[in-house]
Amino acid sequence: MALFNSKQKNAQPAAKKSEKKVSLRKAASEKALADTRLENTLLHPWMSEKALIGTEKGVYVFAVPPDATKTQVAQAVERLYKVVPVKVNVANLPGKMKPLRGKRGRGTRARRHKAYVYLKKGETITF
C-alpha cells in the first residue's frame, strides 16, 4: 500500500509548478535579451553628405554591427522610431589601406557596416 501514498501525489504537481516558473523566467529573460539586441542594432546615424541627401528621398543610413541582419534592423527601426520601413539594405565597407607618417609604412582603417532604411513617402525620422 505504500505505492498509493498521498504524499507522492502532492509532490508531482509541485514539481510542475516550479517547472512553469522556470519556463516563465526563461521566456522573460529571452525577451529581455532580444530587446537589448534590438537596441544595440542601430549604433548611430550615418552622417555623411551622401546620406543627408538621401534623407530628402526617404532613405536613412545607420551604422550597424557586423552581424546585424536586415530583419533585425527593420525591427529596431520600428521599435525606436515608430516607423515601418519599406526596404532595408545592408552594406559592408572594407577597411582602406592608408599611409602612415614616419617609418611605419602603411596601416588599415577599420571595416564598417551600414544599413540603408527606405521609408514610405511622407514618413520621416528625426534624430
Query: What does the pLDDT read at residue 71?
Result: 93
Query: What does the pLDDT read at residue 115?
Result: 96
CA–CA dist 23, 116 (Å, integer): 38
Query: What does the pLDDT read at residue 6?
Result: 60
DSSP string, 39-86: HTT--EE---HHHHHHHTTTEEEEE--TT--HHHHHHHHHHHH----S
Domain parsing of the chain, residue ranges: 41-98+107-118
Cell numbers describing residue 115: 544599413
Ranges of residues in the chain with a pLDDT under 50 are 11, 15
Q: Which CATH class is domain 41-98+107-118?
A: alpha beta
Cell numbers describing residue 60: 536613412
Query: What does the pLDDT read at residue 127?
Result: 78
Query: What does the pLDDT read at residue 70?
Result: 94
